[in-house]
Amino acid sequence: MDDSIVFDITKILPNDINLLLPYLGIFTFMVLGLSLLISFKNKSDFEKCVVYCVLILSLILFYSLNFIVVGRQGSPRDMLPIFPIFYMLLSYLIVSFLSSSIKNATNKRLILKSSKIFLIMILIIFIPISFYFADYSQIIKKDGFVFKDPNTYALNYPHISDSFDEKDIVVTIFKWDQVIFHGSIPFTPIGIETQINPDNPEYIKMVGTLKDIILEGNPVYVFKEPGLPEEKNFHHELVQNDFVLKNYSSTFCKIELQTETMKKSDIECL
């Protein structure tokens, strides 16, 4: 989606609040802990809450282990499978709170009733706002409410018009699925994240491996339009490490090692 139609709430928040945003993950653990505590205390749906909490924590733990996801770029999309479960637990807490009551304590009953009214008001305000700024709402706002035929997109996928041999290698992070679809070999560079550190041991080893692959006579290519800024930065970094990018087709550039007669990359590739 075009970034211009996506509302970024962090741009209107004070700087002090923006500093707290990375710590909002603590809210997840608060919801998990409270759901377990309340379900155990009320003796209702405790087993379900335990299963949901285990699923959520398992996925968080999986993507937190470096030896499993080394070199992989993290994304909020990794958490999409557990969003419905998390919101079920959050809804359970809200319903439990709204259905709670206090006997024989007038002051506490007044505070509880006021808190319930305040919570309901927050939900009435938050839900419409969240729908309005959701991705699908922004798409409808931009393009109108139209049904799109998935077969049309299927005909245009993948966008690789070049024919490759099964031994050809394409260096890419974002479009590896297209490379596999065409039967070629994707090479995923590591150690390039948001900013390339040439002194990173993983990066040095990866560049060495790439040189060995080319010296063995294997054709290696990169996308002219890789899809990620980090990957484009990596292309520029390659020419600083004895590599040359030569124009190959409308979609690809070929990676070559520098020689006495070939020291400059083609402008189309940079």
Please give the model's pTM, rounded to 2 decimal places. Answer: 0.55
DSSP H helices in the chain: 15-18, 25-42, 46-62, 66-69, 83-98, 106-132, 135-143, 150-155, 176-181, 201-215, 229-238
Distance, in Å, from the CA atom of 229 to the CA atom of 192, rounded to the nearest integer, reads 11
Residue 171's nearest CA partner among 227, 240, 242, 250 is 227
Distance, in Å, from the CA atom of 6 to the CA atom of 26, rounded to the nearest integer, reads 25
- pLDDT computed for residue 36 by the predictor: 93
- pLDDT computed for residue 1 by the predictor: 42
- Tens of each residue's pLDDT in the chain, 270 residues: 444 444 455 555 555 555 666 677 788 899 999 999 999 988 888 999 999 999 999 888 887 775 555 445 556 677 888 889 999 999 999 998 888 877 766 777 788 888 888 888 988 988 888 888 777 787 888 878 877 787 877 766 655 555 667 778 888 887 777 788 777 888 887 766 555 666 777 778 888 888 899 999 888 988 888 777 777 778 887 887 788 998 888 888 889 988 888 878 888 887
Distance, in Å, from the CA atom of 267 to the CA atom of 61, rounded to the nearest integer, reads 44
- pLDDT computed for residue 2 by the predictor: 43
- pLDDT computed for residue 140 by the predictor: 83
DSSP state of 248: -
- pLDDT computed for residue 52 by the predictor: 93
3-state secondary structure of 61: helix
- pLDDT computed for residue 74 by the predictor: 56
